[in-house]
Chains A and B, each alone.
Chain A
Amino acid sequence: MAENANKRPVVLSVNELTKSFPGRKSDFLAVDQVSFNVHQGEIVGLLGPNGAGKTTTIQMLLGLMTPTSGGIHYFGLPFELHREEILKKLNHTSGYARMPWRLTVLENLNVYGWMYEVKNHTEKIAELVDAFEIKSFKNKRFQDLSAGQMTRVLLAKAFINTPELVLLDEPTASLDPDISLKIRNYILDEQKKRKMSLVITSHNMHEVEEMCDRVVFLNKGKVYAIDTPDGLAKKNQNCELQLMVRDGLKRLIEVIEGHGFRFSVSKRYIAITLPEQQVGALLSEMGAKGLQYSEIEIVKPSLEDFFVNVSKK
C-alpha cells in the first residue's frame, strides 16, 4: 500500500516545519524541522510519546498556530496563501476541541453544514447521523452527551464536507469497542471509495497497525522514523520466546545467562527476550543439551514495543 501510495499525488507536503516558543532563558523547540508527505488515499499515523510535538504539528497543519519556519503545502498549494480554498477540502477532530454546549447535536451539525457550504446538508447530516449512530441523541444538547457520544458528534462534523483529507486526533478514544470498530470501518470505507487521505494520531497501537499505511514517529520534536507499522516494529529486533520447560529449567537458565539474554520465570514457564534470528540457534542448543519443552510461543516485535523503546530514550 505504501509503495502504491508513493505513485499517487501528494496531498500534504510538510517541509522542515519548525515551531519554537520563546522562553525566559532560551527558546523551547517544540517541533524541529519536521518533514513528511501524505499521498492521495494514504492513511498516515502521527505517533510519538507525550511532548513529542504531535499536537503542535497538527495545530500548524490546521492553521491554528503559525510556524516559526518551514512550509506546509496542500494539494500543491502553499497553505498560508490558499487557506480558504484548502480548508474547504479539509476537516479535523482534535482532543482540544468541543462544540457549543447549549446547541443540540443537529443544530451544531447544521451550523457546520453552512460553514463548509455543504450542498444538501440536511441529507448529508442524515447520512452521518446514521453512520456514527447518533440518532438516539441527535436532539440532545452537546453538554448532556457522554464523552463517547461527543467523540461521535465531532467525528460526524469531521466528515460533513466530504473532505479529501482529514486530520483525526485520537479518533476512537473513549468509544466502546463495537462503536469504535464501526467507525473505523466507516472511515476505511470512505478512504477506499473516495481515495480520501487521513492523518491520525492515536495511542491505540493496534488501531494504528490496522489502519495506517505509514507512520511518522516523532520524538522530542523531531522525526525519529518514517516507515510502515510493520517496518517500525521490525526496527526492534528482539522477540520474546516463551517456553514451558518440563525438565532442566536450572540448566536452561545457565545457558541463557551464558548468552546474556534477558528472561523471566514463572513456575515452569520462562520468557526469554532475544534477537529474532537467534531463536533457531538457541532451540538447537537446547536440543543438543537435552533440555525439553512442552509448549512454545514466539511473540514477534510489535509497534507498541517500538513505541515503548523510543519513549524510554
Chain B
Amino acid sequence: MNIHRIFAVLLRHWYNFTHNLDRIVDAFYWPSVDIVLWGLTISALQKQGQVMVQQVYVLVFSVILWNIVWRAQGEITVNLLEELWSENITNLFASPLKVTEWMVGLSLMSLFKLTLTVLLTSAISLLMYSANITSLGIMLVPMMVTLMLMGWAFGFFVAGLFLRHGTSVQTLAWAGAFILMPFSAVYYPLFTLPLWVQKVALFLPSSYIFEGLRTLMQTGVFPMQSLLYSNVLNAIYLSLAILYFFRSFEKAREKGLGHLK
C-alpha cells in the first residue's frame, strides 16, 4: 500500500469535485432537497396534529442517515464512471497503482465527502426543525459507520458490474441504492410492512440500524444486538462485494481494460 498513490487518487477526485457541478450537486444539493422536502412534509403533518414532534425528529434523522448509504455507494460507483467517461482507466492501471490502493483512495474520498454531506444536512435539520442529530449521543458513530460500510459494499458490487458491462448499466450508480430503501425501514417501522418485506429486511444491515434508531429515540437505548447483526451482515456483504470487484477487474483485464467503455 503506497501513500503517494492513494493521495494521487484522492487528489484526482478532489480536483474533479471542485470543478464539477454534477458532483457538487450530488454531494450537497440532493441531500439538502431531501431533508427540506421530508422535513417540511412531516412538520406540516405535525402542525395538523397527525404526528408528534418526536416523529418529525425520527424522520429527519432517518433522511440524514439514509443519505450516508446513498452517498457512500454513489462515491464508489460514480468515481469509477468518471474514469470510464474520461477514458483514463488505462492510464491509471498502466501506472504502478494497485487496485487495492485505488479502492482505498475512493473509500477515503467517499468518507470525506459524505462527512461534508452529513454536516450540511445536520445543520439544515437543526436550523429548520430544531432537530439536533448529536442528541442521539455516542451511538450515532457506530450507526453511521455501519451504514457507510453497507454503502461501500453495495458500491463495490455495482462497480464490479460496471467493470463487466461498462457504462451500459451506469444508471445503477444513482438508482442502485434505492432498490434497498423500501426494505430498510427508513421512514416506517418494520412491523407495519408486509411479511415478505419484513423477511427481506432481515438480510439488510440498514433495517437493523433504522429500527434501532426508533428504539433509541423511544427508550434512550440502542439495541446492541441489532448493531451486531447488522455488522455481521456488513462483514459478509463487504467481503463478497470486494471479492466480486476483484474478479470483475480480472474479467475486464481478460478482455482488455482499453476496451472498457
Contact = CB atoms under 8 A, between A and B. Distances in A.
Interface of A: 21, 55-56, 59, 62-66, 83-85, 87-88, 90, 92, 94, 96-104, 107, 110-112, 114-117, 141-142, 157
Interface stretch (B7-15, B65-73, B146-154, B205-213): B7-15
Q: How large is the interface on B (under 10, 10 to 19, 20 to 34, 35 or more residues)?
A: 20 to 34
Given A103-B19, A112-B95, A115-B8, A59 B86 contact: no
B195 interface: no
A165 B4 CA distance: 22
A99 B258 contact: no
B257 A114 contact: no
A70 to B, nearest CB: 15
A59 B256 contact: yes
Nearest to B2: A117
Given A65-B255, A87-B95, A115-B95, A98 B19 contact: no
Contacts of B91: 97, 99, 112, 157
A84 B98 contact: yes
Given A114-B7, A115-B5, A141 B94 contact: no
B95 A116 contact: yes
B88 A94 contact: no
B98 to A, nearest CB: 7
A104 B258 CA distance: 23
Chain B binding site: helix, strand, loop or mixed by DSSP? helix
B12 A103 contact: yes
B96 interface: yes
Contacts of B20: 102
A104 B83 CA distance: 15
A103 B87 contact: no
Contacts of A65: 253-258
B256 A114 contact: no
Contacts of B86: 98-102, 142
Given A100-B16, A100-B82, A114-B4, 7 more contacts: A59-B90, A92-B94, A97-B94, A100-B86, A100-B88, A114-B5, A157-B91
B112 interface: no
Contacts of A87: 94-96
B97 interface: yes
Given A66-B253, A96-B87, A100-B88, A111 B12 contact: yes
Interface of B: 2, 4-5, 7-8, 11-12, 15-16, 19-20, 82-83, 85-88, 90-98, 250, 253-259
Contact of A94 (B5, B254, B258): B258
Nearest to A60: B256
Contacts of B87: 96-98
Nearest to A83: B96
B94 A112 contact: no
A94 B12 CA distance: 20
Contacts of B94: 62-64, 87, 90, 92, 94, 97
Contact of A63 (B11, B82, B93): B93
Contact of A111 (B8, B82, B98): B8
Contacts of B15: 100, 102-104, 107, 111
A99 B90 contact: no
A291 to B, nearest CB: 57
B5 A97 contact: no
B163 to A, nearest CB: 13
22 contacts: A59-B256, A59-B258, A87-B94, A90-B94, A94-B90, A96-B87, A96-B90, A97-B94, A98-B86, A98-B88, A99-B88, A100-B82, A102-B20, A111-B12, A114-B5, A114-B7, A115-B5, A115-B97, A116-B96, A117-B2, A117-B4, A157-B91
Contacts of B254: 65-66
B85 A101 contact: yes
Q: Which of A111, A142, A157 has the most CB of B within 10 A?
A: A111
A99 B8 CA distance: 14
B105 to A, nearest CB: 10
